Chains A and B, each alone.
Chain A
Amino acid sequence: MPQPQQAPEVVAQAIDLVKVYGSKTNNVVALDQVSVAFARGSFTAIMGPSGSGKSTLMHCLAGLDRITAGRVFLGGKELNALNDSQLTKVRRDNVGFVFQAFNLLPTLTARQNILLPLDLAGRKPDEGFFRQLTESLGLTDRLTHRPSELSGGQQQRVAIARAMITRPDVIFADEPTGALDSKTGTQLLEYMQRTVRDLGQSIIMVTHDAKAAAYADRALILLDGRIVDDVPQPTADSVNAALARLER
């Protein structure tokens, strides 16, 4: 088994991150002074009960949402210093997304959906990489189909291919198996794990499922906007134990 390297390169980082929703008088602190770093080529699961701030943390790390205070770095760029169009560019070039509700454009075919980020960036696709990607995801004979003609698992694999096609610094996945049956979900998680091990892709995944978190290299547990636990090499049992500790 490969040992984690000494002083691994940091691909994403939050320092004293604060995110407050709502007005001055009626506000909700979603993230409270969170500091965390993610190593390149690692698979991290972010866990926590509803309202713990796990999705907010992901949104802030991915540049989808503005932060209230602190600093956020992604792929060497400080996101809070960027304006909207620069952030848009970061999302396009440095980040990939996989969402729970597959989120494909219904008017485009699978192939067009996968290539959409490159299309938007005006970049030529690397056909070799595209073929390798779609073959490994078992999508080769599905490329001309529209989302409505694909199963849930196939749609989610298209979403993963779309996230990977730009070779982003980080892929953010929000409950990627949430809408899938357990078998399809397992296959997807295994694929994500392989991508990290074989291709060195960095993945940050939000999930509430301890079994899904077990595929990650590391599990962060959030509660009330703070990181309360950091489980290395999680298993379903160790994560469940960590979550159980929250209730005491």
Chain B
Amino acid sequence: MFSDAIREVRHHPGRIVATLIAIAISVGFMAAVSVFLETEKGGLAKQLNRQYAGADVLVQRQTQDRTDAQVIELIKSKPGVAAAEASWTTFGPVEKGDTTLYLQLYGTPSETFRWSKVVEGAWPQGTDEIALPRDLAKKLDVAVGGEVSLGEQKMKVSGLTDDPPSRLIQNGYISPELITMMSSGEDGKAPANTYLIKVADGTTPDAVVSSLSELTSKDANTGESAFRVETTEAAMQDQLKELTMGVDALKYALMVFAGIALLVGMIIIANTFTILIAQRRRQIGLLRAVGASTSQVRKRFIGEAIVLGLLGSLLGVALGYAIAALGSWVTGSLHWGLAFPWRDLLVEIGVGVLITLLAALVPIWRTSRVAPLEALRPVLSADSQKRVSKVRAIICTVLLVLGIGLSVLALTSEKNSVLMALGSAFLITFAVLGAAPLYVALLIKGWGKLVGLTGPTSRLATMNAARNPQRAAATAVALMLAIGLIITLQVGAATVRETALSQIEEDMPVDVVVGLYAMGGPDEESVALPKEVIAKIDSLPNVRAKALLQGGATNDGRVIVALNPQVKDVAPMAPDSIPDDVALVSANMAEIQSTETLPGVNGEMITLKLQASPAAGDGMVVNDATLRRLVKDPQPAQYWFDLVDRENFANTQRQLSQLSAEYPNLMIGGGAFEAYLITQILNIMLAITSALLGVAVAIALVGVANTLGLSVIERTRESALLRALGMPRVKLRLMLLIEAITLALVGVVVGVIAGAYFAWLGISAVFKEADIDRGINFAIDWQRTLVLVGIAVVAAAIASILPGRRAAMATPTEALAID
């Protein structure tokens, strides 16, 4: 069974190469996820382990009980303890020039407990020295003796350590003195969280753990123990368990995308087998004619499917390893060696073989219909094809009607909108994909009418694309699925963005608000905008109008500003004046409460009537007189401004963020800022999911190449005939190119339409269920959509290159040969 299969694979590698690629990409995706995540996990665990390399037992503090000195004294009093010390660690920003690194800072441990070596210079002493790993020093561009700043403080680099490079955990070392000062609070009395114990020779760590039982005794009142005492080994295992849970969660999330890629891969594999078997009907007929039973014929093909699946999966594992190696090289975990999660990999290879076999089963099953004589006939009888079509048409129509019905229900019913929308999307997806053989050929022919006007080449191309509806449909369906999913996300994201932006525009008409957070307390000075900030804002480009508002902090630390005539330039809907004792607030706040009582400057209580106005943004706006009664000495407290071009906020944002680095309690808000944040977050999420779904698109495009390649093999005689009749080679290649683009376009167009509909349906349903009765700004991100369509079309064009070459290589004499 397998020897025949291997022979077939070896003799016709061209026919199966696309299938192999499809399987390899699907399995490679899964393998890359497993290997990469395991490698990261292993690297992280080893890195964490390193820090306790010198310790045998760890004592971890749970409550603020006992001082360091008391704990250390108690530990040292036990037999078998060779050394013990408190271990301090904290986070801190270390910067030089424009580079800032957030480092995990350790108090340099004593020699017994050290896990790294100083390769140049010395360990830090005093409160103004720091030791850095070599790679980080390089990143900061400092050498031993150089200067960096840790927060506000200038530090001298005392030495470079040999810690391995990592993106996930980045270390720095400072003296125990400094770290105690930094982390133990203002009184310097808060104790450390962890104590390291070295066990003397001849004692086991377990013995020391049990001798420290008084530290772990439970408090009578709270039922909690003050400390956790564990051997380092046990602590590490706990940590690994936690890490594994996190990694597994991520793994399962990514496997959803792998599942989509697998599904698309299956469509391609099924299509390939259908074509391969159609091409070998003669061979099958011959086998049957010389006495092979149907099961013998099937076994041959099943053998081929298994060999193909195994080969593709192994290639996939190799591909996955390459990607994982690249990924962990970037994160630095490669230093600890690539993981070999053999259980995962075995499962993934199994899945690869299984999907190949499953996808191939239906076409293989059909070979049993091939009678010895029938196999020698070129195509299925027209009748049987029609019958299949009718059944298919009926089922798909029913599904479609049900799906649309559910859509309507989802948008009108009071409950379960999201669930019904989901069901509707599934039904419609099945209907659209299932009915593809019925309409894909029609679409292609319609498109053919259009491009056919350009000449015989494109007419022939579109006719070729449509000549085998099943094949064209399967190819297009793979693309529809992949593109449809991405478009659903794209349109969904665009719609959410537009809807959110219009909401923001409505609620926060002021583009940017710059002020200071009140630091609490009745210190009005604290909210006065520094002159440098005002100067900086005055120099900003892209500002259309601005208003500097007087204001101050109330006694309870709230910032209140006063209306002035310039506000109208920035927020046109602001009233000309505000009555006394009235405050403009956001609609949300006005809904919750109608009045607000605040302490006045003279100690009396002032009750303000709250009035909703979009001009207020998130703050409180009163008139000048009211402000003076609430705030002792009003200062320029907030700068409001309106941008010429709200879309172009990134540049403004960059300049403002420089300011906020200098003034930590600077508040930046306003509509443009919120819009910018939402856009940024949505863009990042969209980019990540698109990239993950891109794998499925890649497989679908491999399918286009596959269909073309196999069709060209079938049509060698036709290509030769066209050459004999005077079609130039270039035109023959052009024909394949147009054929590829036609197939891709049909898949893309249907995918885009269906995806856009699903996005609209989904968001409408979510809004309905969440009871948000504002209008949805349905939006298509044309730029992104066109880029996606462009990528698909260009990739399809590239996919036609090899088949086109093959077709053009057909010599005219082949047309005369008899096969």
Query: Taking beta carbons and an 8 Å cutoff, which residues of A are in contact with B?
Result: 55, 59, 64-65, 84-85, 88-89, 91-93, 97, 99-101, 103, 105-108, 116-117, 119-122, 148, 162, 174
Contact = CB atoms under 8 A, between A and B. Distances in A.
Given A55-B816, A65-B813, A107-B463, 9 more contacts: A64-B813, A65-B812, A88-B723, A97-B724, A97-B816, A107-B460, A107-B464, A116-B456, A117-B726
A236 B520 CA distance: 119
Contact of A89 (B726, B731, B811, B815): B726
Contact of A91 (B378, B455, B463, B724): B724
A162 B379 CA distance: 25
* CB-based closest 4 A-B pairs: A92-B726, A107-B463, A119-B456, A64-B812
For B721, B724, B731, B813, the residue with the greatest tally of chain A CB atoms inside 10 Å of its CB is B724
14 contacts: A59-B813, A59-B816, A64-B812, A85-B728, A88-B729, A91-B812, A101-B818, A107-B463, A107-B464, A108-B460, A121-B726, A148-B378, A148-B379, A162-B725
B776 to A, nearest CB: 46
Nearest to A179: B818
B815 A103 contact: yes
Interface string B793-819: 000000000000000000111011011
B815 to A, nearest CB: 6
A91 B816 contact: no
Contacts of A117: 725-726
Contacts of B467: 106-107
Nearest to B455: A122
B717 interface: yes
Contacts of A162: 725
B727 interface: yes
B85 to A, nearest CB: 82
Contacts, number: 73
A59 B721 CA distance: 13
A55 B727 CA distance: 22
B135 interface: no
Interface of B: 378-379, 455-456, 460, 463-464, 467, 717-718, 721-729, 731, 811-813, 815-816, 818-819
B816 A88 contact: no
Contacts of A84: 729
Nearest to A117: B725
A88 B455 CA distance: 18
A93 B727 CA distance: 11
Nearest to A166: B726
Contact of A103 (B379, B464, B721): B721
A162 B463 CA distance: 19
Contacts of B463: 107-108
B715 to A, nearest CB: 9
B208 to A, nearest CB: 83
A162 B726 CA distance: 12
A83 to B, nearest CB: 11
Contacts of A105: 460, 718, 721-722
Contacts of B819: 101
A121 B725 CA distance: 10
A34 to B, nearest CB: 17
Nearest to A172: B816
A119 B818 CA distance: 26
A116 B722 CA distance: 9
For A64, A108, A174, the residue with the greatest tally of chain B CB atoms inside 10 Å of its CB is A64
B460 A64 contact: no
Contacts of B812: 64-65, 91
A117 B728 CA distance: 12
Nearest to B726: A92
B815 A99 contact: yes
A64 B724 contact: yes
Contact of B726 (A59, A88, A100): A88
A93 to B, nearest CB: 7
A91 B718 CA distance: 16
B456 A64 contact: no
B721 A88 contact: no
B728 to A, nearest CB: 5
B726 A93 contact: yes
Contact of B811 (A65, A100, A101): A65
Contacts of A121: 726
A64 B817 CA distance: 12
A120 B816 contact: no
Contacts of A85: 728
Contacts of A103: 717, 721, 815
A101 B819 CA distance: 9
B718 to A, nearest CB: 6
A148 B379 CA distance: 10
A120 B726 contact: yes
Nearest to B812: A64
B281 to A, nearest CB: 16
Contacts of B818: 100-101
Contacts of A97: 724-725, 815-816
B2 to A, nearest CB: 35
Contacts of A101: 717, 818-819
A46 to B, nearest CB: 13
A26 B91 CA distance: 79
A97 B717 CA distance: 14
B464 A91 contact: no
Contacts of A65: 811-813
Nearest to B717: A103
Contacts of B722: 105, 120
A84 B811 CA distance: 11
